[in-house]
Amino acid sequence: MQVATSILTANFNELEKEIKALENSDYLHLDVMDGHFVPNISFGYPVLKNLPKITKVPLDIHLMVTNPSIFIEDFIKLKPEFITIHLEANKPLETIMKIKNNQIKAGISLKPNTPVEALKPYLNLVDLILIMTVEPGFGGQSFLKKQVAKIKQLDKLRNENNYRYLIEVDGGVNDKTINFLKNSGCDIVVSGSFILNHDNKAEAIQALK
């Protein structure tokens, strides 16, 4: 299992120190919120622009925003591994193609109440599918076990159709809930609070792996 550490609840007054403690993450997960698509505001490009100077860990950007297309020009400057947008946002197909045309891997996510069937037009286009196991917008929520069925469904579709997307899971992932994800088809887990609140962050990451 690969681990993407979310820095949503990091101490931004000591961000470089926090990032250095996460060097054994497979990815750093950046939750960008606009206060409109989700009822919270996090951080944007001006806050994150120096991340490539302080870490070599690949970046995994999750845009929880209504109009993701207008954010792409800035975030491609960070040369992330993935930029993921929401199916429920405006112009998802146009934005996916914009991401891919800039040689960045494109991901698509869906909220817990959106069915997998809504993703079918995108399954042959995207490099990653992000399943939310909480309602997006806030850290520290409880894991929604019923979402595991979506992961298994997407894994089945991937195997049957030779799709190449990775399956990522975000929300309430810790050393207990990760047991629900074993043998589900999940490739990457996103974890924030569990890792950042741990006395030994590297140990917490390794426990999830």
Active site residues: 31, 170
DSSP 41: B
Instruction: Give strand pairing partners of 27.
Output: 4
What is the per-residue DSSP string for 182-193?
TTTT--EEEESH
Among left, alpha and beta (phi > 0; psi -120 to 50; other), residue 172 is left
CB 15 within 8 A of CB 50: no
Q: How far apart are CA 166 and CA 130, in angstroms?
A: 8
Show Cβ contacts of residue 4 under 8 Å, excluding neighbours closer than 6 positions. 25, 26, 27, 28, 29, 60, 168, 170, 188, 189, 190, 191
Q: Collapsing DSSP states into helix, strand and coil, what is residue 13?
A: helix
Instruction: Give strand pairing partners of 191.
Output: 5
Q: How far apart are CA 2 and CA 35, in angstroms?
A: 29
Q: How far apart are CA 201 and CA 65, in angstroms?
A: 29
